[in-house]
Amino acid sequence: MKRLNTQLQEDGCPLELILLIRTLLAACKEISFRVSQGALAGVLGSTLSENVQGERQKKLDVISNQIIKDILSESGYVKAISSEEEDDVIACHPEGKYLVSFDPLDGSSNSDINSLIGTIFSIMHAPQWLEGDDPKAFLQPGTQQVAAGYVLYGPSTMLVMSTGNGTHMYTLDKTHGGFLVTRENVKVPEQTQEFAINMSNQRHWQGPMQAYVNDLLAGSDGPRGKNYNMRWVAAMVGDIHRMLCRGGIFAYPFDYRDPGKAGKLRLMYEANPMAFLMEQAGGKASTGEHDILDIMPEDIHQRVPVIMGSAGEVNACLEYYKES
Q: Detail the residues annotated as belonging to a binding site for Mg(2+).
A: 84, 103, 105-106, 270
CA pseudo-torsion sign 85, 80, 121, 178: negative
Question: Which residues are annotated binding-site positions?
Answer: 84, 103, 105-109, 198, 264, 270
Asked if 133 and 80 count as a contact pair (C-beta separation under 8 A), the reply is yes
Residue 28, H or E segment: helix 15-37
- Per-residue burial over 49-88, b = 16 or more CB atoms within 10 Å of its CB, e = otherwise: eebeeeeebbbbbbbbbebbbebbbebebbbbbbbbbbee
From the list 111, 109, 82, the residue with the least C-alpha distance to 267 is 82
Question: Which residues are annotated binding-site positions for substrate?
Answer: 106-109, 198, 264
Q: How far is CA 59 from CA 47, 64, 196, 255, in A?
A: 6, 9, 27, 28
User: Packing angle between helix 207-217 and helix 311-323, nearest 10 degrees?
Assistant: 130
User: Packing angle between helix 272-280 and helix 236-246, nearest 10 degrees?
Assistant: 10
Phi, psi for residue 158 in degrees, rounded to 5: -120, 140
Asked if 36 and 49 count as a contact pair (C-beta separation under 8 A), the reply is no
Asked if 47 and 62 count as a contact pair (C-beta separation under 8 A), the reply is yes
